[in-house]
């Protein structure tokens, strides 16, 4: 026999922290909840790792960014969990799960029994090895998923003052880390296969704006090619990267952000999977009624789009966590999760938000060259379905969020263009 809990959260990331707060707000009793995490620290706001954590002056360090400060809520320190009778089992990986027997087996050999399991195992960073390149264990190669990775990246930056970094990948990690490297006075070359950065979200026109801004900060872009191999010195440090197009770039450090894979391994063959994650219903409940999934690992129905999506963003992690706990504690009173996808980023002095879906025709507004707010709407099948805004005010961001949720009918794209941001503000 092992320890038994009414509720167990597997994973101690963003979603776990917000779920814990929701449990407490809804009257959790002492000893009912346990959180098991392979990370050695209590849940924290992961977005800080590519932003405040990497600043050269007064960088953010724990305990300052434990959840749930990112949503302007209470900061849940280890003391908070103790005071609320929540068992935090840290630095402990779960090695296997048996959903029929409702048990988890930890790497320390302990069996944990649950009535309800909430899976919040998040995702792991894809490794270069998965693309046929070896050597990513070198001390000057960094990934960025957890605190250990972030500390390693900080060490690499501090060992390379004024040096050269190559950033592999033009997605979120690549763009945010490149900005942080520049702020740390490191020369940056970004390498990615697409014709422009953030290709899955941004249009070429918007992406060009950000690339030009990065270029003005000294960042070089090498697009349309990928890493072929790494060169090492006799100490095993990477000295150069070789690209498939034949170029060789000397480096002091390499940062890799080439995507993630959800951590579903424990449940393969036991739960229904979809879109690379654990398929759940509108109550975040999986194909086994005792198991819920939240955050990056959950593939849930997005009512607005009428389809199952898996979203790898912090707002979805926070809100799916809260909804799952509401559904667990309040049963029938809790309706279906009705989520409006929301992504954002902040780099240098730039800041953007995106709501909804980026499908259909694009209508731009604002003047990108003026240094003032600009953005775009996406219109699909006669409805406004997505909105992007750079440099907006709080009220303007709220307006594009509200408008996107309403999905207003758009008959005349020209008129929408003429109204621009004013359209959202007056809807
Ligand atoms: P995670 O926060 O990844 O937590 C998963 C937890 O499960 C981890 O603690 C992990 O160690 C643990 N775990 C996994 N497997 C096991 C196991 N077998 N046993 C025990 N524990 C296990 N999103 C935004 O919207 N905006 C941003 O600005 C932003 N910035 C980001 C910056 C960085 C550097 C990163 C990495 C992500 C960023 N994201 C951002 C994405 C956001 O952080 C994630 O969507 C969010 O963390 C997902 O929460 P989660 O709880 O599902 O997973
Ligand atoms: P992304 O999926 O955002 O981007 C990965 C990028 O790497 C894509 O441009 C991808 O191209 C490219 N790529 C893939 N394979 C290679 C290769 N072999 N060589 C070079 N480039 C390659 O993932 P990230 O790693 O940037 O981010 C990881 C996670 O962290 C994501 O879940 C993200 O949402 C999250 N995150 C979110 C932030 C935010 O919301 N502000 C900030 C930081 C992280 P292709 O598209 O062709 O596959």
The pLDDT score that the predictor gives to residue 174 is 98
Ligand with the closest atom to the CA of 65: 1
| Average pLDDT of adjacent 10-residue blocks, the chain of 427 residues | 93 98 98 98 98 97 98 98 98 98 97 98 97 94 98 97 97 98 98 97 97 98 96 97 97 98 98 98 98 98 96 98 97 93 96 98 94 95 98 97 97 96 92
Token couple for 31? 């000893």
The pLDDT score that the predictor gives to residue 205 is 97
Q: Whose CA is nearest to atom 8 of ligand 2?
A: 171
The pLDDT score that the predictor gives to residue 2 is 85
The pLDDT score that the predictor gives to residue 427 is 82
pTM metric for this prediction:
0.97
The pLDDT score that the predictor gives to residue 1 is 63
| Interface pTM, i.e. ipTM | 0.97
Top mutation candidate among 8, 12, 13, 341 for ligand 1, by most atoms within 8 Å of CB: 13
Buried b (16+ CB within 10 A) or exposed e, 85-122: ebbbbbebebeebebeebbbbbeeeeebebebbbbbbb
Judge whether 197 and 174 are in contact, CB under 8 Å.
Answer: yes
Peptide bond into 68 cis (omega under 30): yes
Distance in angstroms (rounded) separating the CA atoms of residues 262 and 298: 9
- 386: Cβ below 6 Å to ligand 1? no
The pLDDT score that the predictor gives to residue 351 is 97
The gap from C-alpha 226 to its chain's centroid, in whole angstroms, comes to 23
Cα-based angle 179, 374, 191 (whole degrees, multiple of 5): 30
Judge whether 178 and 221 are in contact, CB under 8 Å.
Answer: no
Q: Whose CA is nearest to atom 34 of ligand 2?
A: 312
């Amino acid at each position: 026999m092992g320890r038994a809990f009414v509720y167990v959260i597997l994973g101690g990331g963003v979603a776990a922290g917000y779920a814990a707060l929701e449990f407490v707000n809804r009257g959790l009793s002492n000893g009912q909840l346990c959180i098991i995490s392979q990370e050695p620290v209590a849940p924290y706001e992961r977005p800080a790792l590519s932003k405040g954590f990497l600043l050269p002056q007064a960088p953010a360090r724990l305990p300052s960014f434990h959840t749930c400060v990112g949503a302007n809520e209470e900061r849940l320190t280890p003391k908070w969990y103790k005071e609320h009778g929540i068992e935090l089992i840290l630095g402990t990986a779960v090695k296997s799960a048996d959903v029929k027997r409702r048990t988890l087996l930890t790497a320390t050999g302990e069996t944990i029994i649950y009535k309800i399991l909430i899976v919040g195992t998040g995702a792991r960073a894809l490794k270069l090895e998965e693309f046929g390149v070896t050597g990513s264990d070198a001390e000057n190669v960094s990934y960025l998923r957890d605190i250990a990775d972030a500390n390693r990246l900080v060490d690499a930056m501090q060992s390379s003052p004024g040096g050269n970094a190559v950033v592999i990948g033009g997605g979120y990690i690549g763009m945010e880390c490149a900005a942080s490297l520049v702020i740390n006075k490191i020369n940056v070359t970004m390498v990615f296969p697409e014709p422009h950065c953030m290709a899955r979200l941004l249009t070429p026109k918007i992406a060009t704006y950000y690339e030009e801004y990065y270029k003005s900060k000294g960042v070089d872009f090498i697009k349309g090619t990928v890493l072929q191999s790494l060169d090492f010195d006799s100490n095993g440090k990477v000295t150069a990267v070789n690209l498939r197009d034949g170029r060789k770039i000397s480096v002091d450090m390499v940062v890799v952000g080439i995507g993630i894979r959800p951590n579903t391994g424990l449940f393969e063959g036991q739960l229904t999977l979809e879109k690379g994650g654990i398929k759940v219903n509108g109550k975040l409940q999986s194909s086994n009624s005792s198991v819920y999934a939240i955050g990056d690992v959950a593939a849930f129905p997005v009512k607005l789009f009428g389809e199952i999506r898996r979203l790898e963003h912090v707002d979805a992690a926070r809100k799916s966590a809260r909804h799952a706990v509401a559904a667990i504690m309040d049963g029938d009173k809790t309706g279906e999760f009705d989520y409006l996808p929301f992504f954002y980023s902040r780099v240098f002095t730039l800041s953007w938000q995106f709501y909804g879906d980026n499908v259909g025709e694009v209508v731009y507004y604002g003047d990108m060259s003026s240094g003032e707010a600009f953005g775009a709407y996406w219109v699909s099948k006669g409805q406004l379905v997505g909105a992007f805004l750079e440099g907006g005010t709080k009220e303007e961001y709220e307006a594009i969020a509200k408008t996107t949720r309403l999905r207003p009918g758009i008959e005349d794209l020209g008129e929408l263009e003429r109204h621009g941001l004013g359209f959202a503000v007056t809807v």
